[in-house]
Amino acid sequence: MATLERFLVLRTSDIDAFRANVAQLLTPHKLARVGSSGVVHADLSMADLGPVRLIHGRNTGVELRAQLTEQVSYYDVNLALSGANLLTAGDEEVVLGERTAGVISPRMLATMRLSDGYSQLHVRIERHALERHLEELLGSEVPGPIRFRAAMDLTRPAAASWSQAVRLLVRDLDTPDGLATTGEHNPWSRFLMTGLLLAQPHNYSEQLEQHRLAPRRPATLKHVIDLIDQDPAAELTVERLALAAGMTPRSLQRQFKEYVGIPPREYVLGVRLSRAHHDLRHAGPGVTVADVALRWGFSHVPRFAGAYKQRYGVSPSATLRGRA
């Protein structure tokens, strides 16, 4: 198949140059030959679709072993186009090939053993984008990272369709006058994110299916959720929200449990953390963690920092410094 030739970044016989360029596009890692002193021939391509990037790498001449030295901070679907890759992610081991892809989730360390003649397409999806997209599909906050099953069975119809869509996109990108374009607002990004969330099992799959089959939310509950989303920094006690909806606190709790899946206090916390996360990632000079915490209704900064780290796996100060 086509392999993003129009988006070539590097073609080299220098293994260190290959490693350095891959690290810039993906994650820092160690890269070494396995049982051979032969010369590696490698190339690397990248197409930027906003929150989704397609990265193609190919190596010939030697077998390689890659060991990540930092945890992954994004979602990475690995599709083998030729050859084989023994992927170890967390406590799962997957042999990538024609029938199986691999998915690495945030906070994971992984190792890969790439066969001679191996060609791989990475579908890199930024964590904040995929989790925000899942929240849109669920209509509620996502309290923690999405944890995908590492092995993607490409013989399953949904996964096969998603993989074929990715390959179609790559072919179209390789055509100068194709329909696909690169850039932040590329419609393919949302399509690929939705497809992955539906095709590959993860820790929110059951909730996503329940939401798809669930009856429509009552108007009173939608009104409360709108109030929270419009001004999450306000004083949003269960009693105040129930009064605004014209129901008892117990009824509000019951509706949240039935239609949202979490209590109203947890929903408010999730919205506040999400807004704070966005502001920390896009903060200008001089902005502090305390500034952002207070802006979104957190009067106790250490408590905010603890809740933030529990959700995002890093401290607010790390996000503010641009590390996550």
Alpha helices in the chain (DSSP H): 15-25, 127-138, 157-173, 187-199, 205-213, 219-230, 238-245, 249-255, 264-281, 289-295, 301-312, 316-320
Cα(206)–Cα(75) distance, integer angstroms: 20
**Measured at the alpha carbon of residue 130, what is the angle toward residues 160 and 190, in degrees to the nearest 5?**
65
Which three-class secondary structure state does DSSP give residue 53? strand
**pLDDT tens per residue, the chain (324 residues)?**
558 988 999 999 999 999 999 999 999 999 999 886 778 899 999 999 989 999 999 999 999 999 999 989 999 999 999 999 999 988 899 999 999 999 999 988 899 999 999 999 999 999 989 998 998 888 777 877 899 999 999 999 999 999 999 999 999 898 877 777 666 667 889 999 999 999 999 999 988 887 776 667 788 888 999 899 889 999 899 999 999 999 999 999 998 888 887 889 988 998 899 899 888 988 888 899 999 999 999 989 999 999 998 888 788 998 888 755
Which three-class secondary structure state does DSSP give residue 275? helix
Cα(94)–Cα(113) distance, integer angstroms: 11
Cα(81)–Cα(144) distance, integer angstroms: 32
Say what the pTM is: 0.72
